[in-house]
Amino acid sequence: MGRNTRKRRTPLATKAIAASAALALGGGGLIWANFYASAHESNHQTWGGNQTKAATAQVATISCPDVGQKLTNVPNQARNEVAGELANLDRQITDAYQRLATTRDAQAQDASFVQNSILQPLKDRRAAILDRIKLEITRVGGTVPGDLSVLASCTAQNANQTTAGGQQQNNTGGQQQGGQQQNNGGQQQNNTGGQQQGGAGGQQQGNAGQQQNVGGQAGNGPVAADFVDITKVQPNVPAKPRRNGNASTGTFTTRCGVNANKNHNTDNVIVAPGVTNGAHHLHDYVGNQKVNAFSSNQTFLQGGTSCQNSSDLSSYYWPVVRVQDGSQDFDQNKDGGGKEGNVGKILTPVSAQIKYVGSPTSKVVAMPQFLRIITGDAKTTTNGLANANAHWSCTGFENKVQLTTQYPVCPQGSKVVRTFAFQSCWDGQNVDSANHRTHVAFADANGNCQNGFKAIPQLTMRLVYNITPPVLQNGQVKNAYAVDGFPEQLHKPATDHDDFISVTKNGLANRIANCVNRGQNCA
């Protein structure tokens, strides 16, 4: 990944909002502290007031190695057990992060408090689970990749170490992951500006998360640096890859609604089967209506669908978007909701387009039944941007600007748009993999599948939201909006992700592939 070398103005890293003011999230909700203020400040910051100087760099979050991504070859007999243990690791991080949020006074008085009272106990608990994972894999004859014990240690991250705006990360090739270029509905999208997306007046946003979210509820973000006026961003969408004579140029659109019936849960059956609240954040579900942590391939076939095409029983699900304007929703005091920092009114998209598109260089093969694909990374704040696949834009700007590491502030009359372009190459054998990534891949910059992978219809999704533009003023954000996420991920826009399970009947998978290969536009 390239690094942007353009000189920027000196970041306002020494500026912070005063006082780590705690925000009570409802009657039984967790008290979230403001992680970006100095623990030594005493004056409360008000909207439009003056900033004060931070006396120390405050710990923003906890960063732990993503064990699941290291486990690429877990035997099938051990996968459910290992997935359960990985979910336990996520729960431990959440618990440690909540302790970080509620012990600011102790941290201010004892410089070693975070290490001794949070990180060391977390390491010990993680080590015990890593030992159990090793045992589960070796018990069925599998091989553990290296020494898992080195993944036990976690670190504290200060605000200027996260992937907040101001980190000057240049997501060149924006959608390029491992050299494989993504094609969003046949359109290449490149966040070449990375964090060099000009804020108000073109000034670089360098105060990397050092502000409080005034007017919101969640002390764990987002912050002003996570937003950018889209009219100030230079165009960054590159040309499409050139089509050859063997291109599959058709499209197949399936209409499945916008989740108006509010089919939600905080599970994730792909990565945490059998684990309630395995996602630690809320999902919208369209398509299959019987998806939770305990669903199976058999229950998918019996689940019914919100799609107009009754043969499409696929599950399409994504984290909800909320507006942090002081409003509450049904999960204000629940796990995965307000108790874990996901607060505010849940927004239903005004439209949700689900479309399968072809390859610019080859015909496609039908998706196999029960294929699972996750696109993006819910943990980019601590993992980095290697697997990021977030696309944020505004209506009227989509062909010009796509953002990965900032949320757009759209002009009057324009709506916020989230788009996803899933992996479009399949290994031809597996419907899932141990880390839920290696069985599928993105095409390269020229649109070709590599390593013997086969082109499949590329799933693309476009979600449109009617959001009152947040107000950015004096380094603060009022009425922010944010995607749900793991609490320690700070609601960064790059953590956006999408999940898909292909379930069809009556030959629909073949009809989709044939339509795309024939160059037809079907629905």
Instruction: Report the distance separating Cα 283 and Cα 268, nearest Å.
Output: 9
Name residue, tokens 């292909």: 502
Instruction: Give the chain's end-to-end CA distance (angstroms, integer).
Output: 38
Are 421 and 388 contacting, i.e. CB atoms less than 8 angstroms apart? no
pLDDT at residue number 462? 98
* Residue 248 CA: distances (Å) to CA of 310, 364, 365, 447: 25, 7, 10, 11
Q: Judging by beta carbons within 10 Å of its beta carbon (0-12, 13-18, 19+), is residue 144 exposed, middle or buried?
A: middle
pLDDT at residue number 217? 58
Query: What are the backbone angles phi and psi of residue 292, rounded to the nearest 5°?
Result: -155, -170
Half-sphere exposure of 70 (CA within 13 A, CB side): 19
CA 466 to chain centroid: 20
**For residue 367, which of 458, 281, 285, 237 has the smallest C-alpha distance?**
458
Instruction: Report the distance separating Cα 407 and Cα 173, nearest Å.
Output: 18
Are 420 and 498 contacting, i.e. CB atoms less than 8 angstroms apart? yes
Query: What are the backbone angles phi and psi of residue 136, rounded to the nearest 5°?
Result: -60, -40
Instruction: Report the distance separating Cα 309 and Cα 329, nearest Å.
Output: 31
Instruction: Report the distance separating Cα 8 and Cα 229, nearest Å.
Output: 18
Dihedral sign from CA coordinates of 29, 164, 496, 122: negative
**For residue 417, which of 268, 252, 265, 237 has the smallest C-alpha distance?**
237
Q: Judging by beta carbons within 10 Å of its beta carbon (0-12, 13-18, 19+), is residue 240 exposed, middle or buried?
A: middle
Name the DSSP letter for residue 468.
Answer: P
Quick one: tokens of 415? Answer: 């709506």
The pLDDT tens digits of the residues spanning 320-343 come to 999 999 999 999 999 999 999 999
pLDDT at residue number 162? 73
Report pTM.
Answer: 0.83
Instruction: Report the distance separating Cα 273 and Cα 504, nearest Å.
Output: 21
Are 82 and 137 contacting, i.e. CB atoms less than 8 angstroms apart? yes
Name the DSSP letter for residue 362.
Answer: S
Are 516 and 254 contacting, i.e. CB atoms less than 8 angstroms apart? no
Are 394 and 230 contacting, i.e. CB atoms less than 8 angstroms apart? yes
CA 391 to chain centroid: 10
Quick one: tokens of 365? Answer: 């093969």
List strand residue ranges (DSSP E) for 111-235, in order: 155-158, 176-177, 180-181, 227-229
pLDDT tens track, the chain, 523 positions: 333 333 333 333 322 222 222 333 333 333 333 333 333 333 332 222 222 223 235 789 999 999 999 999 999 999 999 999 999 999 999 999 999 999 999 999 999 999 999 999 999 999 999 999 999 999 999 999 899 999 999 999 987 777 544 333 333 333 333 333 334 333 333 333 333 333 333 333 333 333 344 445 567 999 999 999 999 999 999 899 999 999 999 999 999 999 999 999 999 999 999 999 999 999 999 999 999 999 999 999 999 999 999 999 999 999 999 999 999 999 999 999 999 999 999 999 999 999 999 999 999 999 999 999 999 999 999 999 999 999 999 999 999 999 999 999 999 999 999 999 999 999 999 999 999 999 999 999 999 999 999 999 999 999 999 999 999 888 889 999 999 999 999 999 999 999 999 999 999 999 999 999 999 999 9
